[in-house]
C-alpha cells in the first residue's frame, strides 16, 4: 500500500520516538513532527497536527510510552501522569480516553509492554480499516460494474476526509478505494472540497493523490451536475455517529449528497466502524448538531470574503436518514438494507 504514513513509532521503547505527519501544513507541505516528549504529543493533538478520532487515540497511546522513557523507577506513576495530561488535549475525543484507559491497564507496566499495547491499538485500527475496505470494495465492484457500465472511468464521490489521515490505516470511506487501486480497478474519485473547512480539498485530495489514485476535486455545489453528467456510479462517506435506526450524522453537506444521489439513482453508502453506532439514540433526530464559528465561513481562505457584520448559520453536521442510505459498511459486515433489525444482526446484538 503506497498510502501516506501519518503515525509511526521509530526505534525502541526506551530510545524511540513518535513521528507524526503535521496535518496543519497540508496540503502544501509534507512535514513530519518528531515527538520525543508527552508535551510534544499533547501539542500535536491540541493544534490538530493529528486529527480524526482513531488517529488521536493511537497518537496518545504512543505518547504514554514517551511518558515512561527514562522513568526506570515509578513507571506506573509516570504513565498515569502522562495519561492524565494527554486526556486534556482534546477533551471531547472519545477515542482518546478509550486508548488512554487501555494503556493504563497494561501489566506489567514497562516501556516494552506499553509500546506493545500502543502498537496493538494501532494495528487493530489498521486491520479494522482493511476489513471495511474489503467489504466496500465488493460494493464498488458490484456498483461500478452494474450502474456505471460503459463509463470509461466510473466515479466514486466522497465528502470530507474519512481517510487514512484520520485513522491508523487506510481510512473508512477511502478504504475500498485504496484496496481497489491496489488491485488495479480503474476509477476516478470525485472529492467534494467540503466547505467550510475544506477537508476534502486539503486532506482527501492530498492523501489519495499521494497514493497515486485518480482524484478530481470539485466544489460542493457541483456534485449535482457531476451526477447528472453520469460521472458518478456511487457515493461513499464516513459517519460521526449512527443512531439505532441507521440515521447517520456526518460532516455538513453529506445529507445534501444523499438527496442528490437519490434523485439521480446513484447508490449512497456509509463506511464506519461499529463503534460509531450509538444505540441509545432511537433516531437521528436525537443527535445534537453543534454550530460552528462564523469566521470559518467569512474568512476561511486567508482573507475576509464576506461583509462585516453578517449573520451566518453553520451547522457542523447533518443527519442522513436511513432510507437514503443503500448500505452501511462496518468491520463486522455490510448492513443492507439499513434497518434496525439488520443493524442488530450485523453488529451481533
Q: Take residue 36 and report the three cell numbers written for it.
A: 520525543
Least distance to a second copy, CB of residue 193, Å: 7
240 is known as an active-site residue: yes
Measured from the CB atom, the residue of 101 and 295 that comes closer to a second copy is: 295
186 binds a second copy (CB under 8 A): no
**Ramachandran angles phi, psi of 59, nearest 5°:** -60, -40
Residue 183 neighbours by CB under 8 Å, 6+ apart: 137
300 binds a second copy (CB under 8 A): yes
> What count of residues does the chain have?
349
Measured from the CB atom, the residue of 144 and 198 that comes closer to a second copy is: 198
Q: Take residue 279 and report the three cell numbers written for it.
A: 444505540
Q: Which of 5, 31, 293, 310 binds a second copy (CB under 8 A)?
A: 310
Can you tell me which residue has the cell 445534537? 288
Helix (H, G, I), strand (E, B) or coil at 253: coil
283 binds a second copy (CB under 8 A): no
Closest listed residue to residue 85, CA positions, set 64, 112, 116: 64
**Cβ–Cβ < 8 Å for 229, 154:** no
Least distance to a second copy, CB of residue 262, Å: 7
Q: Are strands 17-21 and 7-10 parallel, antiparallel or unpaired?
A: antiparallel
Round to whole Å and give the CA distance between 122 and 59.
9
Least distance to a second copy, CB of residue 161, Å: 12
278 binds a second copy (CB under 8 A): no
209 binds a second copy (CB under 8 A): yes
**Ramachandran angles phi, psi of 297, nearest 5°:** -85, -40
The active-site residue, picked from 125, 240, 247, 318, is 240
Measured from the CB atom, the residue of 45 and 205 that comes closer to a second copy is: 205
313 binds a second copy (CB under 8 A): yes
Residues engaged in binding a second copy (CB under 8 A):
26-28, 159, 190, 192-196, 198, 201-202, 205-206, 209-210, 214-226, 228, 231, 252-253, 255-256, 259-260, 262-263, 297-298, 300-315, 318
Amino acid at each position: 500500500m503506497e498510502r501516506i504514513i501519518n503515525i509511526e513509532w521509530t526505534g525502541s521503547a526506551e530510545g524511540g520516538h513518535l513521528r507524526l505527519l503535521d496535518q496543519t501544513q497540508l496540503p502544501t507541505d509534507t512535514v513530519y513532527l518528531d515527538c520525543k516528549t508527552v508535551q510534544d504529543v499533547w501539542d500535536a493533538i491540541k493544534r490538530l497536527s493529528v486529527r480524526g478520532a482513531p488517529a488521536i487515540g493511537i497518537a496518545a497511546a504512543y505518547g504514554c510510552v514517551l511518558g515512561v522513557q527514562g522513568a526506570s523507577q515509578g513507571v506506573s506513576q509516570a504513565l498515569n501522569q502522562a495519561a492524565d495530561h494527554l486526556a486534556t488535549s482534546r477533551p471531547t475525543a472519545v477515542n482518546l480516553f478509550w486508548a488512554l484507559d487501555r494503556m493504563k491497564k497494561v501489566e506489567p507496566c514497562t516501556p516494552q509492554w506499553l509500546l506493545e499495547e500502543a502498537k496493538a491499538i494501532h494495528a487493530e485500527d489498521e486491520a479494522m480499516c482493511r476489513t471495511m475496505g474489503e467489504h466496500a470494495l465488493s460494493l464498488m465492484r458490484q456498483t461500478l460494474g452494474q450502474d456505471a457500465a460503459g463509463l470509461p472511468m466510473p466515479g466514486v464521490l466522497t465528502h470530507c476526509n474519512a481517510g487514512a489521515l484520520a485513522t491508523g490505516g487506510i481510512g473508512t470511506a477511502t478504504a475500498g478505494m485504496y484496496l481497489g487501486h491496489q488491485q488495479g480497478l480503474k476509477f476516478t474519485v470525485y472529492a467534494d472540497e467540503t466547505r467550510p473547512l475544506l477537508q476534502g480539498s486539503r486532506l482527501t485530495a492530498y492523501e489519495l493523490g499521494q497514493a497515486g489514485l485518480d482524484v478530481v476535486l470539485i466544489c460542493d455545489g457541483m456534485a449535482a451536475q457531476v451526477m447528472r453528467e453520469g460521472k458518478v456510479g456511487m457515493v461513499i462517506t464516513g459517519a460521526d455517529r449512527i443512531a439505532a435506526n441507521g440515521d447517520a450524522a456526518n460532516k455538513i453537506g453529506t445529507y445534501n449528497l444523499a438527496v442528490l444521489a437519490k434523485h439521480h439513482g446513484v447508490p449512497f453508502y456509509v463506511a464506519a466502524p461499529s463503534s460509531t453506532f450509538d444505540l441509545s439514540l432511537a433516531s437521528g433526530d436525537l443527535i445534537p448538531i453543534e454550530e460552528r464559528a462564523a469566521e470559518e465561513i467569512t474568512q476561511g481562505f486567508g482573507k475576509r470574503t464576506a461583509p462585516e457584520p453578517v449573520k451566518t448559520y453553520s451547522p457542523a453536521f447533518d443527519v442522513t436518514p436511513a432510507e437514503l442510505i443503500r448500505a452501511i459498511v462496518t468491520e463486522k459486515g455490510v448492513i443492507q438494507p439499513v434497518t434496525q433489525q439488520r443493524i442488530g444482526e450485523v453488529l451481533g446484538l
